[in-house]
Amino acid sequence: MPTLKEQFWDPVAGFGVTFRTMFRKVVTEQYPFEKLPTAPRFHGRHQLNRWPDGLEKCVGCELCAWACPADAIYVEGDSNTDDERFSPGERYGRVYQINYLRCILCGLCIEACPTRALTMTNEYELADTSRESLIYEKSDLLAPLLPGMVQPPHPMLLGEDEGDYYRGNLHKRDEEGDA
């Protein structure tokens, strides 16, 4: 024979969590309709950065590919020429691919990058329906051109040589003008 408590109080008490939660702030995110900002250091999609004049920071050294535990990055370097310059210095990344089917967004590539060319954004919407669309090319990864940046290829605008860029000794070059 159940006691009175068991008969009347316990069934109500069982809904205690339910009733309490009804008056609390909701944690559910209405994701596709309402996009909330991530934590500031969230590891999202990669970005290939540019120098302030628009030249690419990537030198095609492949250290990111070497560091990658998932073998998600493929890089091919090539030589800059005086006519066609994509980055300060001799070498640039001609091919740069990140396979987001493989990438685990661990960020080891960012640590490996010697020129801070590769960083991560907070963009997390990395789902798609085809394999091809998830292999991001260099054009997909490059940072957008900000005001004052010029689409490469063009000569170095902010230094005499790559040393000026690497040392942060950026200044407007007298000759050359606008490329």
Binding residues for [4Fe-4S] cluster: 58, 61, 64, 68, 103, 106, 109, 113
What is the DSSP code string of 59-86? ----HHHHH-TT--EEEEEEE--SSS-S
**Residue 78 near other proteins by CB under 8 A:** yes
Residue type at position 21: T
Question: 66 vs 124, which CB is nearer to other proteins?
Answer: 66
Residue type at position 89: G
**Residue 65 near other proteins by CB under 8 A:** yes
Q: From the CB of 163, what's the least distance to other proteins, in Å?
A: 8
| Cα–Cα distance for residue pair 76/59, rounded to 1 Å | 10
Q: Which of residues 131-170 bind other proteins (CB under 8 A)?
A: 163
Q: Which of 43, 44, 49, 62 binds other proteins (CB under 8 A)?
A: 62
Residue type at position 136: Y
Question: 43 vs 91, which CB is nearer to other proteins?
Answer: 91
157 and 135 Cβ atoms separated by less than 8 Å? no
